[in-house]
Structure 1
């Protein structure tokens, strides 16, 4: 099941829906009033009972005519957790680009974790505001993101997958010059609108083994990234264990797992984003996250 948050252009509030294969959005609350409210983290916190309500509602839910997709979790409980240099070939291209001022080693010895604020989150279809990067060095990073279901602190890697609610897509848009200048990544990656997310959350029961998923990124129709999640240096259980060691994860928290080789700074000269470009990140099974640049 692919779950979404959506809105109507002429009405206030958000709603929970399911995304059909043909792209239609189903109004779950119309089939089951228990699913009213439109708060995805609250729904996730409802656990197995909430999921069963949604599964049953899909059978009779009407199409939400005129629905506009929001990010599936427009405002997570915390900042979006992001992981840097988590594909070996990308770590090497980043090290060779001259933009990495964060560490001496090429491949990290432990997960490199930073965050993006909720104000950076935008849905599929919304414009990436490249004009907010005064350095004209905006780059793309297609990533698989994990959505936490059952929360906790001190989660063991062996138990981590029990805490996964599902998966979505994140584009970790980055102002490379700011990333390098400040020797940390929040200011270069946390700009408003620099975290496209969506289009949906694919529930974990649909993906017994997330390592088989692929992250594919196109810019203006040109394939830039295409790699299996199996190539992660630190896999999903390792990331959940590392982050939860001292930080309590909550239902609806989002962890972007890292980007594969093929980002703009990997080219000579770099291929930075500019107004008029279109970035399309696809993870088959989850869907397509596509954003114009402006």
Structure 2
């Protein structure tokens, strides 16, 4: 199942992507007098399999119910939101692709390198991303995101993926000059809007093996990254298990799993051209759709 959020009346509404269009869950459930159904993305995540079954039942009812005809929307007409709107934690894994480690001349890490971002970085497919005036080196990073669906503490590698609700795309935008200013990467990672997320949250059953997905990025239509999640140093099950040994993961937490080779920072210095106002960046991961954002100069 592909879920998304869209903005309406200064709020985020839950939508389901289908062959017929986007089903507005709140509208359809109201029109069909269905009460036992999640109506926000976080309710859907927290209700897990039961919530997914309820949403599928709503789709089936709405497809043949004339009274729900106004609940079907055209995706192109919607202003999307981040596909996870209020994660409790945004956890990132750095240097997690073998070829990326090689291109940046860094050693293969012995343990996952963890850092965090904050909710101010969340943005959506189609949003314009302002390039902060305090940096001249904003880089793109195509990444697979794990969305946690069940509390996870001390879970084994074998059980780890049973705690995952689904997956989505992110562009882990990074101001390299700020990131490398100190040994802590946080500053260069947490500028406003620096985590465009979406467009869809795709449930785990539809994705299958998260460690065998094509992953790409494009800048103005030019392929910059072209890899596969199989190049990860620490696979998704290892990441979830490792993090859970140290603190509890809760439903709606998101984990950014690292980026493959092809980022600007990996180019020879004379060939490094960082993102400029007007650049259009697309992140594309197999089965998860395409996430596109235009970079603009900071306003105000």
TM more than 0.5: yes
SS of corresponding position for 1:211: coil
Which residues of 2 match residues 216-255 of structure 1 at below 5 A?
Answer: 216-255=216-255
The Cα offsets for residues 112-137 of structure 1, whole Å up to 9 and x where unpaired, read as 0111101001001111111x151200
Gaps of 5+ in 1: 96-104
Q: Greater strand share, 1 or 2?
A: 2
Which deviates more from structure 2 when the two are superposed, residues 114-123 or residues 207-216? 207-216
Which of 58, 63, 69 is 2:72 aligned to? 63
Contact 2:219 2:282 in 1 (8 A): yes
Map of 1:107 onto structure 2? 108
Structure 1 residues 142 and 116, CA gap change in structure 2 (3 angstroms): same
The Cα offsets for residues 169-203 of structure 1, whole Å up to 9 and x where unpaired, read as 01100000111102111110011111111001111
Matched, 1:31 2:28: yes
Map of 1:270 onto structure 2? 272
Contact 1:15 1:37 in 2 (8 A): no
What CA distance in whole angstroms lies between the structure 1 residues aligned with 2:242 and 2:130? 32
Contact 1:5 1:38 in 2 (8 A): no
Map of 1:94 onto structure 2? 104
Which residues of 2 match residues 1-294 of structure 1 at below 5 A?
Answer: 1-8=1-8, 11-20=9-18, 24-32=21-29, 33-34=34-35, 38-59=39-60, 60=62, 62-64=71-73, 66-78=77-89, 80-95=90-105, 106-130=107-131, 132-268=132-268, 269-294=271-296
Structure 1 residues 21 and 119, CA gap change in structure 2 (3 angstroms): farther
Shift, 1:37, TM fit: 7.1
The Cα offsets for residues 139-182 of structure 1, whole Å up to 9 and x where unpaired, read as 00000111111112111111001001000001100000111102
What CA distance in whole angstroms lies between the structure 2 residues aligned with 1:37 and 1:2? 14
Shift, 1:242, TM fit: 1.2
Structure 1 residues 30 and 39, CA gap change in structure 2 (3 angstroms): closer
What CA distance in whole angstroms lies between the structure 1 residues aligned with 2:199 and 2:42? 16
What CA distance in whole angstroms lies between the structure 2 residues aligned with 1:212 and 1:258? 14
Shift, 1:74, TM fit: 1.9
What CA distance in whole angstroms lies between the structure 2 residues aligned with 1:262 and 1:74? 29
SS of corresponding position for 2:45: helix
Give the TM-score normalised by the residue count of structure 2.
0.89
SS of corresponding position for 2:152: coil
Shift, 1:29, TM fit: 2.4
Give the TM-score normalised by the residue count of structure 1.
0.90
Equivalent residues, number: 280
Contact 1:148 1:249 in 2 (8 A): yes
What CA distance in whole angstroms lies between the structure 1 residues aligned with 2:100 and 2:220? 21
Structure 1 residues 208 and 37, CA gap change in structure 2 (3 angstroms): closer
The list of structure 1 runs, each at least 4 consecutive aligned residues, that deviate by more than 4 angstroms after superposition, is 35-38
What CA distance in whole angstroms lies between the structure 1 residues aligned with 2:19 and 2:191? 32
